[in-house]
Chain A
């Protein structure tokens, strides 16, 4: 099985804190699920730490330390966080994601035969969704206008670019068009972050695209 890591420049964008919220969430999930990506971000963080340590100081005003110490009177040192108990039905969601799935979130059937949970991220214009595909089912043929980031959270899928399993990361736009098909076994669940609406290129695309553009489907 080949592994599909996020490109290194995207890991740097992430570690520098420069990504918009949707893409940052996609990379955070990749890092949570892929030990090699985690190791890579650890190394980049170490680079950031060394740069902060070595490259300059700016004095604070004289009372800054005293003011900060005074604030500590009411701020406790927190215990190490306990391992989380996964929410029933959402065992596949790593912590950075689980926190953002609303209590009332339900899978919703979408035209084209897949299910979706939309995530609303404050201050981000990306379309961020969880998609669930039944084994052997595909997404409608589509192409991308802007960037697309996909992280597999459960199961797997294949398209013309390869086979993707849990923790794998895909960056679009890749080939002109692609048609992902879910692997046999359990349903495939993935986080998809899209910069701009996709354009459906199948037979119904002409009628559906206006709805996609208006965010209705």
Chain B
């Protein structure tokens, strides 16, 4: 296993000195996770493997943009993997949002030093939260992330009124906000 701090150090080692051993460690841990994540959306193993490799290469290229105070390694790599999924699976020309656009959400801000908690700590809390979501909430969140579906499509698939799906999402995201902001004034 790789702790959030260890994973962050590996990305920083790539940024600092193009560290191939660090890349190999990250690849061993994350490529199988990215591949599984992509396959859960119904993608075949071969394509999912291609997405995983491309995502990890993007991790190498963008390592200098990683900032552990803004995102955990898992979150940052997820963000890249999601962009690669859009990029490789839709094949509808150049995507409107580049990897830089997706990662911009984690770029440092001048005025937020006091509102952000350490990404490693965030990670632990999000993991706890995931374990405590109701089955109803979890299925909606999983369909969104793994199956790449909008809440409208999810409502159709689950044969639920749109309002029910919206309120499940809002409840789950409200709990996420509470979990991450409980120390804030």
Residues on A with beta carbons closer than 8 Å to the beta carbon of B28: 65
A56 adjacent to B33 (CB under 8 Å)? yes
Q: With A21-B95, A38-B105 as known contacts, state yes or no: A52 contacts B37, CB within 8 Å.
A: yes
A42 adjacent to B105 (CB under 8 Å)? yes
Q: With A49-B78, A69-B20 as known contacts, state yes or no: A58 contacts B71, CB within 8 Å.
A: no
A96 adjacent to B36 (CB under 8 Å)? no
Alpha-carbon gap, A99 to B99, bound state (A): 13
Number of residue pairs spanning A and B whose beta carbons lie under 8 angstroms apart = 224
Contact with B along A125-166 (1 / 0, CB 8 A): 000000000000000000000000000000000000000000
Residues on B with beta carbons closer than 8 Å to the beta carbon of A80: 64-65
- Among B54-73, those with CB < 8 Å from A are 56-57, 60-65, 70-72
Interface residues on B, range: 35 or more
Residues on A with beta carbons closer than 8 Å to the beta carbon of B104: 32, 95-96
Contact with A along B14-52 (1 / 0, CB 8 A): 110010100110011001111111011000010011001
- Among B141-159, those with CB < 8 Å from A are 141-142, 144-146, 148-151, 153
Residues on B with beta carbons closer than 8 Å to the beta carbon of A77: 14-15, 18, 60-61, 63-64
Interface residues on A, range: 35 or more
B185 within 8 A of A: no
B81 within 8 A of A: yes
Smallest CB separation, A75 vs chain B (Å): 6
A122 adjacent to B33 (CB under 8 Å)? no
Interchain residue pairs A-B with the least CB separation, the first 9:
A123-B92, A122-B93, A49-B75, A49-B74, A57-B32, A56-B36, A49-B78, A58-B36, A16-B144
